[in-house]
Structure 1
């Protein structure tokens, strides 16, 4: 805001001081929010790295078992064994608020409670390697869902951290310095006006005293003249 557009009045000064107070308070709250978001973000990043390694290792194990199973079984038998899944998983997506960020929470529920329902085939014509591959995928599924949940949470939190960082910088480098500059300018102008008013009052007082002194001298001279004539 240019200084020529600022009206240097006490009302404007009070309004700007109120704006500065709110900006300082908002700056502190946003900084605290940014710091807490970053702390939780880094916690999720560490968990994400650990889970990713675990999931990748589980997928490698499952792939190895599938390759071995495929080598020991003909393609038609393998396709028939996996054609009709016996178990199903329902995924429910909820949300929880973390520092004004709605991050996803995944909840799963299997169609049946029997752990053996992950096998959609009989064991007579299939190899144990296929069982191991299916078991590996079933075991790694919760970690895969948790990994997806964490990665989405990291994306949302990173976006919120960036927005909060921009707001903090705007307050710190634009709004607060601008308010401080306006307060300084208005205070300086008000002080100048007050000094000018005091100087004018002093001059008026001096003129009034001078006029009173001349008036007294005139009266004294007049009385003296009247006394001489009497």
Structure 2
């Protein structure tokens, strides 16, 4: 057996064998926990993907609706008139950003703290569609940004956890098992040698007794 397949041990003693058995039990327990965690991360990942798909579809529909309204207004009023009308409506929004815990992963939390203010400006009928959907578009943009970042951190955590699972499954646990097997074979070899030695001693003593009797 190659030394690369074994753990480094100070001396092949039975106490070391007991320690290795305990270490094997801990490694298997951690491996099981990490595999369960990996399953949860994958489940959460696909939940987020579905949410993101629905939100992107809704956003595309709203943007398409707004674009049709803008095209009509542009054809009717031209770029200059539309710019003059939209300037009073250009208000800022506040965004709240924090983090939250999802399956043990620090994921972003982004929320709109304030929405565009309502104005008493009389708008052309062709631009009303844009004005009505803009709040929902902002909500969707913020939510999509949050979900995309969440997917990113989940993906990073998945890769990190997967590496640890693979290391335990394909490196550490097999090495512990091989080392335990190696120690057992050493102890069995010692036991056989001890039995052979005792037989030789017994044979020598028996012969000496026979000589003494003669």
TM-score, normalised by the number of residues in structure 1? 0.82
Equivalent position to 1:90, from 90, 94, 111 = 94
Report how far residue 198 of structure 1 moved.
2.1
Match of 2:172 in 1: 175
Aligned residues: 210
1:75-102 per-position Cα deviation (integer Å, ceiling 9, x unaligned) = 3332122224464321111111122211
- Where in structure 2 are there 5+ consecutive unaligned residues? none
Matched, 1:71 2:50: no
Deviations 1:29-66 (A, max 9, x none): 11000001101111111111111111111111111111
Counterpart for residue 159 of structure 1: 156
Aligned to 1:47, which of 28, 45, 51? 51
Farther-moved stretch of structure 1 (51-60 vs 195-204): 195-204
Q: Name the residue aligned to 1:122.
A: 121
Unmatched runs of 5 consecutive residues or more in structure 1: 219-230
2:40 aligned to 32, 36, 41, which one?
36
* Distance in 2 between residues matched to 1:143 and 1:101, nearest whole Å: 23
Residues 98-139 of structure 1, C-alpha deviations (whole Å, 9 max, x = no match): 222111111212168xxxx344x621xx41121221211222
Change over 3 Å in CA distance of 1:73–1:5 after alignment to 2: closer
Q: Which residue of 2 aligns with 1:135?
A: 132
Aligned to 2:13: 9
Q: Which secondary structure state, in structure 1, belongs to the residue aligned with residue 87 of structure 2?
A: coil
1:109 and 2:120 aligned: no
Using the alignment, how far apart are the partners of 1:63 and 1:86 within structure 2?
Answer: 18
- CA distance, structure 1, for counterparts of residue 101 and residue 176 of structure 2: 34
Question: Cα–Cα, structure 1 residues 89 and 103, in superposed 2: closer, same or farther, change >3 Å?
Answer: same
Q: Distance in 1 between matches of 2:118 and 2:148?
A: 27
Shift of the alpha carbon at 1:157? 0.5
Structure with bigger gyration radius: 1
Deviates more, 1:17-26 or 1:56-65: 17-26
Change (3 A) 1:209 1:185: same
Q: Deviations over 1:15-42 (max 9, x none)?
A: 3222222211111011000001101111
TM-score by length of 2: 0.87
